[in-house]
Amino acid sequence: METDRSRQLAAAIDAVRSAAELCAAAQGRLVAGDTLTKGDDSPVTVADFAAQAVVAAVLTERLGALDLVGEEAAADLADDAQATLRDGVVGLVNAQLGRDASASTVLDWIGIGGADGTTDAYWTLDPIDGTKGFLRGDQYAIALALIERGEVVLGVLGCPNLPNPDGSRGAVFAADADGCRAYAGADEPVDVRVARPDDLADVRFCESVESGHSDHGQSARIAERLGITAEPYRIDSQCKYAAVARGDASIYLRLPTRADYREKIWDHAAGKFVVERAGGVVTDVTGAPLDFGHGRRFERNRGVIATDGRFHDEVVAAVLAELDGV
């Protein structure tokens, strides 16, 4: 008999797969009028909105009404000035779902993502994490997680362009209480486990391609403190969490860029849980657990450290020493 959790996981995998198919079809085909800039100057494409609509549609049709904290806001498409963008979103959604949904229905699906993250149970979604990588034709992720009483209990990461060990591209990582598994194409899922190098010297860092997301010089200094000499593995989005989970790298740092900055929960929830269920450890820069009980941001955490777990304490100590200027 299917349990509620297995039903939720199956729906989440299907939702992420559907969104990943949509994004893969849209990537590289963006034309004038298909992007806009939000107040924080981050690019948003038709695919961001469409992917959120598809995930919300699949989840609610499979699971019923739910709370979803999504990155995108339907209000950004409601103005007549965004008619071209809105039409593009509706077209992508209908093509993926095989529907003839109206613009109003698609906006309603996107609007499901307007929850505030203060209920006992809610989902959180980044429909395209790593939009700049997406626009470059490179790495990005669809990141979906279920949070109950401030704890992530289920996470799915879709990484459509991620290179696999067998030479293929694209994988979906699904994590629950039973562990972490990766699905590549139509193949049966394989268990995913972190690497556990015996020596810190053999550890590899994973960091953002975008220098605005992390200070590469700071990461290099931390690596030097730890005696790590390998070149960093640079990749966009929460694919970094996938890379740590399956052993492509052992450390991912997301360090505070300013004192008042707080990370958004959708940027880390799914990836964090994927790493943890693969045997790794994820904390903030002080070593404290990430607390998802305070809305759309981590109000009580600074930065993020994800590792394979073997040298996590040493990494935290090196990060704190660097941040304190010791």
- Do 205 and 223 contact (CB within 8 A), yes or no? yes
Show which residues are catalytic.
48, 131
- Cα distance between residue 314 and residue 227, in whole Å: 11
Residue 39: the pLDDT is 66
Please provide residue 253's backbone torsions phi and psi, each rounded to the nearest 5 degrees: -115, 135
Long-range contacts of 209-214 (CB under 8 A, 24+ apart): 209/133, 209/138, 209/139, 209/234, 209/235, 209/236, 210/132, 210/236, 213/254, 214/253, 214/254, 214/255
DSSP letters for 201-262: GG--EEE-SSTTTS-HHHHHHHHHHHT--SPPEE--TTHHHHHHHTTS-SEEEE--SSTT--
- Cα distance between residue 284 and residue 301, in whole Å: 6
Strand, coil or helix: what is 150? coil
The count of other CB atoms within 10 Å of the CB of residue 60 is 17
Pairing of strands 304-307, 251-254: antiparallel
Q: Packing angle between helix 4-26 and helix 46-63, nearest 10 degrees? A: 160
- The tens-digit pLDDT sequence of the chain (326 residues) is 468 999 999 999 999 999 999 999 998 776 567 777 776 666 788 999 999 999 999 999 999 999 999 999 999 999 998 999 999 999 999 999 999 999 999 999 999 999 999 999 999 999 999 988 998 889 999 999 999 999 999 999 999 999 998 889 999 999 999 999 999 976 789 999 999 999 998 999 998 886 555 567 888 999 999 999 988 999 989 999 999 999 999 999 998 888 888 999 999 999 999 999 999 999 999 999 999 999 999 999 999 999 999 999 999 999 999 998 75
Q: Which helix (DSSP H) or strand (DSSP E) does residue 24 occupy?
A: helix 4-26
Pairing of strands 68-70, 121-129: parallel
- Cα distance between residue 23 and residue 53, in whole Å: 12
Closest CA to 315 of 243, 244, 258: 244
Long-range contacts of 82-88 (CB under 8 A, 24+ apart): 82/36, 84/33, 84/34, 85/33, 85/34, 85/35, 85/36, 85/46, 85/49, 88/33, 88/34, 88/46, 88/50
Residue 3: the pLDDT is 80
- How many residues are present in the chain? 326
- Cα distance between residue 317 and residue 312, in whole Å: 9
Closest CA to 139 of 154, 157, 166: 157
Pairing of strands 169-176, 151-163: antiparallel
Residue 326: the pLDDT is 53
DSSP letters for 61-126: HHH-S--EEES--THHHHSGGGHHHHHHHHHHHHHHHT----HHHHHHHHHTTB--S-SSEEEEEE
| Structural domains of the chain, ranges and CATH numbers in brackets | 4-191 (3.30.540.10), 200-324 (3.40.190.80)
Place of tokens 């590289």: 28
pTM: 0.94
* Torsion sign (Cα): 235, 284, 256, 129: positive
Residue 41: the pLDDT is 60
